[in-house]
Structure formats: structure tokens, C-alpha cells
Structure 1
Amino acid sequence: MDAFLHFFEVMPVWQKAGWIVFCIALFWILEGYYSRFHLKYKKWKHAKVNFGLLGFVMVINVFFGAATTGVFVWLQESSFGVLQLFESPVWVKLVLSLMVLDLIAQYGVHYFLHKVTWMWRLHLVHHTDKNVDVTTGTRHHPLDFVLRELFALLAVVIMGMPISYYFFYRILSVLFTYWTHANLNLPFWLDKGLSYVIVTPNMHKFHHHFQLPWTDRNYGNMLSIWDRIFGTFVYDDPNKIVYGVDIADHTNDESLLVQLNIPFNKTVKSKKS
């Protein structure tokens, strides 16, 4: 187990970038054969703005990773965190760490991104996509991504986890992000069955419905248990889903500059408005 985790600790940047490319390519190809919705759009044109936002995110990720190295050094030297309070096998501590990261850095921050007005204006960019597919997983305003990273760091500090746990979580999170956004037509029984444990493509698509209350449901990324525990889970007929978000439906969802400006665009109303 130690050797397995060490691999993620020393994993070079090019391999991490390669993992992102692999996941996008895999689900891009599968969408071509097993698509859930027949979207009437130009796929490469649609992907352009999402890949543009991915570029910003990857740059931020490199700088953020370098800036937070000191936190992991401090955790190692200080023995701070929940994991230091008990003895258990490595795999137990890893599973607990992944669950806390999924709760705080995925479900938790996602909930606040919908409920806090100024945070929602950043997150709107993710919801303005009117043709949700695998590339929508890359569609985050740069400041939205910074908030997510800060919440992840909070989870790291609370648990006092080693950096290898965090990097392993990031690899899993990338896979789930593209899996849940991919336009995949899984058998209904399989998708709904899996949704009792993990987030599935259909389950997450309800979150991308253009109107409340579904927009404020299914916040999870990997585990669906948080939505079930906190009463934010929904599963209905996927054919009822209409992509986009009604309060910003007039914006150009395929313009990078328009999307970057959405948080500051006064013509885009908040949910409270």
C-alpha cells in the first residue's frame, strides 16, 4: 500500500496532465457510441470554451500546488490532524481521508457555491452550458476553482493527511468529474443502482437542469451518500432534463470572454433576485 501511494506522491506533472487527457478522450469516444441525449451542436466548437477554462484551471493548479507544499511539510512535522489521534491500517486512514475530502472539497463547497450569492455568481459559469458532455467537467471559472482548492486544503488540514492521500484523491476526482458529466446512455437499472453508492451520469444530469429545485440537488462528485444524508438527492425521469440555467439563458455559452465576465455581469441575476 505504501508503494502504491508513493507513486501518486512522485507522479510527474506530465502524467497528471496525461490522465486528464486520457479521461476526456475515453468518455469523448464513448459518447460517440452510447450517447444519452442527441445534442444538436458542434462538439469541437462547444469544447473550445470549456478547454479554454481548463487551461486557466491547470495553470492555477500548478501554482496552488507549489504554494501549499509548506502545509504538508508542517502537517508532517507537527503531527496535527484527526489521523494522528488513532492507530489503524493505512487503507483505513486512506478511505476516511477520501470520504472527508469528498464531503468537504466536493459536496460541501458545491453546496456553498449554490447558496452564497457571490459564490453562486462564480459557479454560474459551470451551469450556463446548454450542451452538457464530458468537456463540461472542465468548465469552471478560475475563481470557482480557487475556492474548491481552498476547501480541499481545509480537509487536508483537518485530517492531517499526507500528500500522497491528497494526490490519489485528485486522480479519482478527475475520473469521476468526467464520468458524471459525460453524455452516456447507461441502462436505467444500472445507473440508478450505482447511484445508491456513487454519483452516476444520470444522477448528476439532474443537477444541470435549467430550473430549481433540481439545480440545487445532487451536489456530490464521487459518493452519493452525502446527498442522501443531507436530503439533497433526487432521481427522476432523465428525459425531463433541460440543460442550462434560466437566469443566464441569454448569455453566449460558447464565448470564453462572456463566461469569464459572468460573475461581474449585472444583467445576469442571482437566484435570490
Structure 2
Amino acid sequence: MNAILDFFEQMPVWMKAGWVIFCITLFWILEGNYSLFTKPYRKWRHARTNLILLIFVLLINTVFGLATAGIFSWLGDNNFGLLNLVDWPVAAELILAILVLDLIAQYGVHYLLHQVPWMWRLHLVHHSDKHVDATSGTRHHPFDFLIREIFALIAVVITGMPISFYFFYRILTIFFTYWTHANLRLPLKLDKGLSWVFVTPNMHKFHHHYQLPWTDSNYGNMFAIWDRLFGTFVYGNPQEIQYGVDIADHRPDEDLAVQLKLPFDSGVKSKGSRS
């Protein structure tokens, strides 16, 4: 186990970037052959907008990498965090760290992005996508992603985890991010069965439905247990899903400039006006 974690801790930047490219490419190919929805759209033009937003995400990741290194150094020097209060096997501590990260840095912050009005306006960019596919996974307004990174660091401080745990988790989240957004058609029984524990493509697509109450549900990224535990889990008929978001459907979702300005667009109704 230690050797595996050492690998992730020492993984070079080019390999991490390669993992992102691999996951996008893998699910791009799979969704082309096993599509949940076959409605035609300009796939490459759609991807261009989302991939440019991905570049912003990667740049923020790079900047936060410096802050992250400083925090891990401080944690190591001060023995701060929950994991420093226990002496468990490495595998058990890793599982605890992953669960806390997934709860705070994914489910928790995602819930707030929907419930806090000014945060919701930033998150609109992710939901304005009218053709959700693999490239939609990292379609985030830069300020939206900045908030997510801050919550990830909060989870790191709470647990006091080693940096190898954090890198291992990030590799897992990349896979799940593209897996859950991919336009994939799984056998219904398989998708439903997996969704008892993990977030699945169908499960997450209900979250991208254009109207409440489905929009405010299924917040998880890796584990579905949080949505089940906190009463935010839904699973309906996938054929009823319509992508987009009701209060911004009148804005072009493939225009990068429009999307970057969307949170500050006075023509877009507020959270309280949602139907």
C-alpha cells in the first residue's frame, strides 16, 4: 500500500495531465458507441467551450498546488488533524480521508453551490450546458472551481492527511467526474445497482435536468451514500431528462464570453425566482 501511495505522491505533472486526457478520451469514445441520448449536436464545438474552461481549471489547480504544498508542510510539522489522533492501518486511514474529502470537497460544497444564491450564480455555468457529455465534467466558471479548491483544502486540514492520500483521491475524482458526465447508456439494472454506493451516469444526469426538484438533488461525485443519507437522492426515468437550467436557458451555452459573464448577468433571474 505504501508503495502505491508513494507512486501517487511522486507522480509527475505530465502523468497527471495525461490521466485527464485519457479519461476524457476514453469516455468520449465510449459515449460515441453507447449513448444515453442520441440527439444530434455539434460535438466538437460543444467540446471547445468546455475544454477552454478546463484550461482555467488546470491553471487554478496549478496555483493551488503551491498553497497545498505549504499546508501539507504545516500539517506535517504540527501533527494537526483527525488522522493524527488515531493509529490505524494505512488502508483504513486512506478510506477515512477519502470519505471526508468526498463529503466536504464534493457533496458539501456542491450542496452549498446550489443553496447559497451568490454561489448558485457562479455554478450556473456548469448547469447551462444543454448537451451534457464527458467534456462537461470540468465545465466550471473559474470562481466556482476556486470555491471547490478552498473546500478541498479545508478537508485536508480537518483530516491532517498526508499528501499522498490527497493525490490518490484527486486521481479517483478525475475518473468519476468524466464517468458521471459521459453520455453513457448502461443497463438500467446495473446503473441502479451501482448507485447504491457510487455515483453513476444516470444518477448524475437527473442533477442536470433543467428544472427543480431534480436540479437540487444527487450532489455526490464519487459516493452516492451522502445523497441517500441526507435525503437528496433521486432516481426517475432517464428519458424525462432535459439538460440546461430554467433560469438561463435563453443564454447561448457554447459562447465562452457569455458563460464567463453569466454569473454577473442581470438578465438572469435570481435563485429565489426559480420555478
Please tell me the TM-score bracket, short chain as reference: over 0.9
Structure 2 Cα separation of the partners of residues 12 and 102 of structure 1: 24
Deviations 1:95-128 (A, max 9, x none): 0000000000000000000000110000000000
Partner of residue 177, structure 1 = 177
Aligned to 1:155: 155
Distance in 1 (CA, whole Å) between partners of 2:79 and 2:39 is 51
3-state DSSP of counterpart to 1:272: helix
1:3 deviates by: 1.1
Q: Which residue identity lines up with residue 268 of structure 2 in the other structure?
A: V
CA RMSD of aligned residues (A): 0.6
The Cα of 1:271 is off from its aligned counterpart by 2.3
Alignment of 1:35-54 (within 5 A): 35-54=35-54
**Residue-pair matches, total:** 273
Deviations 1:14-42 (A, max 9, x none): 11100000000000000111001012201
Work out whether 1:265 is the aligned partner of 2:265.
yes
Measure the CA separation in 1 of the matches of 2:258 and 2:67.
30
| Aligned residue identity for 1:28 | W
Q: Distance in 2 between matches of 1:200 and 1:270?
A: 30
2:112 is the alignment partner of 1:108? no
Counterpart-to-counterpart distance in 2, 1:123 and 1:191 = 26
Query: Is residue 2:99 matched to residue 1:96?
Result: no
Distance 2:272 2:263 in 1: 15
Residue 71 of structure 1 pairs with residue 71 of structure 2: yes
What is the 5 A alignment of 1:126-141?
126-141=126-141
Deviation, 1:67, is: 2.2
What amino acid is the match of 1:263? Answer: P
Gaps of 5+ in 1: none
**With structure 2 as the length reference, what TM-score do the two structures score?**
0.98
TM-aligned CA deviation for residue 66 of structure 1: 1.1
The aligned counterpart of 1:27 is 27
Q: Aligned partners of 1:260, 1:170: CA distance in 2, in Å? A: 25
Q: Which amino acid aligns with 1:65?
A: G
Inter-partner Cα distance in structure 2 for 1:39 and 1:180: 19
CA distance in 2, matches of 1:68, 1:92: 23
Match runs of 1:1-16 below 5 Å: 1-16=1-16
Match of 2:125 in 1: 125
Q: Which runs of 5+ in 2 are unaligned?
A: none
Q: 1:60 is matched with which residue?
A: 60
Q: Which residue pairs with 1:83 in the alignment?
A: 83
Aligned equivalents of 1:144 and 1:7: distance in 2? Answer: 30
Question: Where do 1:232-247 residues align within 5 Å?
Answer: 232-247=232-247
For 2:34 and 2:65, locate their aligned partners in 1 and report how far apart those are by CA, in whole Å: 36
**What is residue 217 of structure 1 aligned with on the other side?**
217
Shift of 1:270: 1.9
For 2:60 and 2:20, locate their aligned partners in 1 and report how far apart those are by CA, in whole Å: 15
- Inter-partner Cα distance in structure 2 for 1:185 and 1:57: 28
Match of 1:146 in 2: 146
Question: Counterparts of 1:195 and 1:221 in 2: how far apart (Å)?
Answer: 11
